[in-house]
A and B are shown apart, each in its own frame.
Chain A
Amino acid sequence: MQNLIRFILRNHFLLLFILLEIVALVLVFQNNYYQSAIVFNISRNVSGYINTKTYSVRQYLSLREANTALHEENRLLRNELFSSYKSQVPPASEAEFDQIWERRYDYIPARVIANSVNKQHNFLSLDKGAVHGVETDMAVVSGNGVVGIVTGVSENFSTVIPLLNVDLRISSKLKDTGYFGSLYWDGMDPEMATLTDIPHHVILNRGDSIVTSGFSAIFPEGIMVGTITDFEIYGGNFWSVTVNLSTDFRKLNQVYVIRDLLRKELLELERSAGYD
């Protein structure tokens, strides 16, 4: 005790400095929103990093179960194999399938007659309208990938909200792993869009493909959206992925409007299930 007091007395200058400095800095962080936000952000980054590390360790420890599950799945798939069946004869001909029944999507070719890429709310106009079977909420794609959604239809023309419109969000997923998120344009570069809501334990690589998820009942599943160019953690738990769009909106010409033949049925089912 005596030693402690002597120590405090001897170093009172340094100790008082530390004390007052802590008081002052606590005041700074408690009362100034800006600094406290940064400190909070840093601590979240640290916790996110630690979570990622512990997750990878946990993943390693559970390899045995993962192996068993995969083995079981392999067994099932092998049982499904054509060679597992008694009869080795393939079906007589393709015509046995009812093609109209099997078919779900119908592609209407169209030409872009007006286009803009330099605004926040860009629009496209197409030379096909109600006469050609175009309706609102149909998907529009080009040969390279997603273009947008039909919003207005007249007799012979239709307008499209392209991906380059800050109001549009498209449900997309990683082609490899199937994790899905919401893709939107931030209004800046007409070649880049942002994919959010991908959990941060998902391993991403530059160049990975992003495709539509097919959850929105507008776009069919698996249409190319773009490739990953960059990604960073935001909000601690999610990736913010920068996506290089595969469609070049600045020289868009030939597109297809996709008519979903089963859309009405799907929407009715969802409505009756109380989705909306």
Chain B
Amino acid sequence: MIKILLRNILRIIVLVSFQVFILNNVQFSGYVNPYFYILFIILLPFETPGWLLLSLSFVLGLSIDLFSNTPGLHASATVFMAFIRPAVLGYFAPRDGYMPGTFPRIYYYGFSWFFQYSAILILAHHFFLFYIEVFRFTDFFHTFTRAILSSAFTLLLVLISQYFIYRK
């Protein structure tokens, strides 16, 4: 239990600094802004209680906001993403539920499961974020393209990270 706690604290620090110091400076032609930090919410244990999930996401989003000078923007998107996570997990659950002692990773549930699960969460987060940021529907398809491309890039990073950093 302590081990999981420590690991998550370390993870939130690493991800936030990676996002703030490296990825926020990556912008390919104004379309692609990867938001890799949401990997933290994807990887939270299955047993995380709802209130903790929402609060952690809020704190995570707010800490990104503090560094990128957009108060509330990322927080609103991460909270939304955390809100739909239990539903997505329930939808993709295996027949006999998630095993105790396992985590939402490729290692435990396979590539296809992890791909679908993280793709939906990433899309939800990115669409929410980009539309709140633009806050109008006049350039609907421009925003749409930006959200889709950035989601694809984030998803790629998330999948790669599964093989690179979290080998187990």
Binding site for B on A (CB under 8 A): 12-14, 16-17, 20-21, 23-32, 34-35, 38
Interface string of B42-76 (1 = CB under 8 A from A): 00000000110011001001100100001111011
Given A16-B51, A31-B71, CB of A21 within 8 Å of CB of B79: yes
A34 to chain B: which residues have CB within 8 Å?
135
Interface membership of B132, Cβ < 8 A: yes
**Interface size, chain B (Cβ < 8 Å):** 22
Given A17-B83, A34-B135, A38-B135, CB of A28 within 8 Å of CB of B76: yes
Contact partner of A27 (CB less than 8 A), chosen from B75, B80, B86, is B75
User: What are 5 A-B contacts defined by CB distance under 8 Å?
Assistant: A13-B51, A17-B79, A20-B79, A28-B132, A35-B135
Tell whether, in the assembled complex, residue A21 and residue B50 are in contact, meaning their CB atoms are under 8 Å apart: no
Can you list the 4 inter-chain pairs with the closest CB atoms, starting with the nearest? A27-B72, A24-B76, A13-B50, A28-B72
B83 to chain A: which residues have CB within 8 Å?
13-14, 17, 21
Interface membership of B167, Cβ < 8 A: no
Residue of A13, A24, A34 with most chain B CB atoms under a 10 A cut-off: A24
State A23–B58 Cα separation when bound (angstroms). 10
Given A16-B50, A28-B71, CB of A21 within 8 Å of CB of B76: yes
State A26–B76 Cα separation when bound (angstroms). 10
What's the least CB distance linking A48 to chain B, in Å?
Answer: 18
Tell whether, in the assembled complex, residue B135 and residue A17 are in contact, meaning their CB atoms are under 8 Å apart: no
In the complex formed, the residue of B with least CB distance to A34 is: B135
What's the least CB distance linking B96 to chain A, in Å?
Answer: 24
A24 to chain B: which residues have CB within 8 Å?
58, 61-62, 72-73, 75-76, 79
What's the least CB distance linking B127 to chain A, in Å?
Answer: 15
Contact partner of A21 (CB less than 8 A), chosen from B51, B65, B73, B80, is B80
In the complex formed, the residue of A with least CB distance to B83 is: A17
In the complex formed, the residue of A with least CB distance to B132 is: A28
Contact partner of A13 (CB less than 8 A), chosen from B71, B80, B86, is B86
